[in-house]
């Protein structure tokens, strides 16, 4: 069995190289996952990456990794404070962070972008970066869920402090309370999943990210997916949607 890619190039940026490359199964997928906070994008990204043999590129993961380091530049310090409040980090900083890692976009394993783009300006920047790297998107999977379920998912979500695996206190409970099934790390509630920050994140989503669905609809890349049910059910729907694209020769 192939090892899970270590994503060093994504986490460290600059000249960092991954020790383990993703091993694509069949078509090399280049996808964006879109959807409100708590809809389960991170979980789907993990499951889809295993199924497709591609790499999970989450901008939120890069910021959370930076939180654990010291010696932040003033720009990064401001970004992490915005993140704690549930606000979006500035387009300039996010785009320069992704630009620094743009080699990941032409990785031979493909990619699943999770949490980027989040604004129209970021979507334009992504188009330019993809063009520079000589690759294009296959699809934008847009996960959709009623607001009441989103609130429940955010408040019950728990994340492993070590390997970042995602659980839910009722929908996907760990075998042992507060302990990660995968690595034994401690499960925590993300600072920005607390109710006060969640409200701000939902507002940022409604104002800045939701309009991206229209943007990608116009380009013909948008694939809406119902995000109700278990992670496995939603994965099945995602795979069916990708299969339908392949059958219709869109990819
Ligand atoms: P996520 O894990 O994708 O929900 O991201 C967590 C937090 O990181 C967000 O609430 C933002 O504060 C910040 N963040 C991550 N990606 C972006 C982005 N593309 N644009 C702006 N802020 C972002």
Q: What is the CATH number of the domain that holds 47?
A: 3.40.50.300
37 within ligand 1 shell (Cβ under 6 A): yes
Residues 142 and 106: their CA atoms lie apart, in Å, by 22
What is the Rg, in whole angstroms, of the alpha carbon atoms belonging to the chain? 17
- Choose, from 41, 101, 172, 237, the residue flagged as catalytic: 41
Residues 150 and 147: their CA atoms lie apart, in Å, by 5
153 within ligand 1 shell (Cβ under 6 A): no
Same domain (yes/no): 114, 27? yes
Q: What is the pLDDT of residue 40?
A: 87
Same domain (yes/no): 153, 241? no
Residue 116 lies in a domain: yes
Nearest to 166 by CA among 48, 68, 54, 45: 45
Residue 1 lies in a domain: no
Same domain (yes/no): 95, 19? yes
Atom of ligand 1 nearest to the CA of 41: 3
Residue 199 lies in a domain: no
Tens place of pLDDT per residue across the chain (251 aa): 445 677 899 999 888 999 888 888 889 999 999 999 889 898 899 999 999 999 999 999 999 888 888 888 888 899 999 999 999 999 999 999 999 999 999 999 999 999 999 999 999 999 999 999 999 999 999 999 988 888 888 889 999 999 888 899 998 899 999 999 999 999 999 888 888 888 899 999 999 999 999 999 999 999 999 999 888 999 999 999 999 998 887 77
Q: What is the pLDDT of residue 139?
A: 97
Same domain (yes/no): 94, 53? yes
60 within ligand 1 shell (Cβ under 6 A): yes
Residue 73 lies in a domain: yes
Same domain (yes/no): 78, 18? yes
Scan for tokens 């760990």, then name that residue: 174
Q: What is the pLDDT of residue 4?
A: 62
Same domain (yes/no): 171, 79? no
Same domain (yes/no): 185, 118? no
Same domain (yes/no): 134, 94? yes
Per DSSP, 229 falls in state S
Catalytic site includes residue 190: yes
Residues 150 and 228: their CA atoms lie apart, in Å, by 10
Assigned token pair, 242:
């990708």
Count of domains forming the chain: 2
Residues 207 and 12: their CA atoms lie apart, in Å, by 30
Residue 120 lies in a domain: yes
Same domain (yes/no): 61, 134? yes
- State the CB neighbour count (10 A cutoff) for residue 116: 21
In DSSP terms, 177 is beta-bridged to none
Q: What is the pLDDT of residue 1?
A: 40
Residue 103 lies in a domain: yes
Catalytic site includes residue 118: yes
Q: Where are the alpha helices (DSSP H) in 101-208?
A: 120-133, 147-156, 195-204
Q: Is the dihedral of CA 3, 234, 238, 247 positive or negative?
A: positive
Same domain (yes/no): 159, 70? no
Residues 157 and 42: their CA atoms lie apart, in Å, by 11
- Residue nearest ligand 1's atom 12 by CA: 83
Q: Contacts for 65-70 with beta carbons within 8 Å, 24 or more apart?
A: 65/11
Q: What are phi and psi of 177, to 5 degrees?
A: -55, 130
Same domain (yes/no): 129, 222? yes
Same domain (yes/no): 176, 242? no
- Residue nearest ligand 1's atom 5 by CA: 60
Nearest to 95 by CA among 126, 73, 64, 120: 126
Domain that holds residue 179: 146-193
Assigned token pair, 148:
């009441």
Residue 89 lies in a domain: yes
């Amino acid at each position: 069995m192939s090892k899970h890619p270590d994503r060093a190039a994504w986490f460290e940026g600059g000249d960092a190289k991954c020790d383990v490359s993703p091993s694509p199964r069949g078509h090399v997928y280049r996808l964006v996952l879109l959807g409100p906070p708590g809809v389960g994008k991170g979980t789907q990204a993990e499951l889809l990456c295993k199924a497709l043999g591609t790499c999970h590129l989450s901008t939120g993961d890069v910021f959370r990794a930076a939180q654990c380091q010291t010696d932040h530049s003033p720009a990064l310090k401001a970004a992490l404070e915005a993140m704690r409040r549930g606000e979006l980090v500035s387009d300039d900083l996010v785009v320069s962070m992704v630009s620094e890692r743009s080699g990941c976009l032409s990785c031979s394993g493909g990619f699943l972008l999770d949490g980027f783009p989040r604004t129209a300006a970021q979507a334009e920047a992504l188009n330019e970066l993809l063009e520079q790297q000589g690759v294009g998107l296959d699809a934008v999977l847009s996960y959709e869920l009623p607001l009441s379920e989103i609130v429940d998912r955010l408040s019950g979500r728990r994340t492993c402090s070590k390997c970042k695996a995602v659980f839910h206190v009722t929908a996907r409970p760990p075998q042992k309370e507060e302990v990660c099934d995968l690595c034994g790390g401690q499960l925590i509630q993300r600072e920005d999943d607390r109710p006060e920050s969640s409200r701000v994140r939902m507002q940022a989503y409604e104002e800045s990210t939701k309009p991206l669905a229209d943007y990608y609809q116009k380009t013909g890349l948008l694939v809406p997916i119902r995000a109700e049910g278990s992670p496995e059910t939603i994965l099945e729907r995602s795979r069916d949607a990708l299969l339908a694209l392949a059958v219709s020769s869109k990819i």
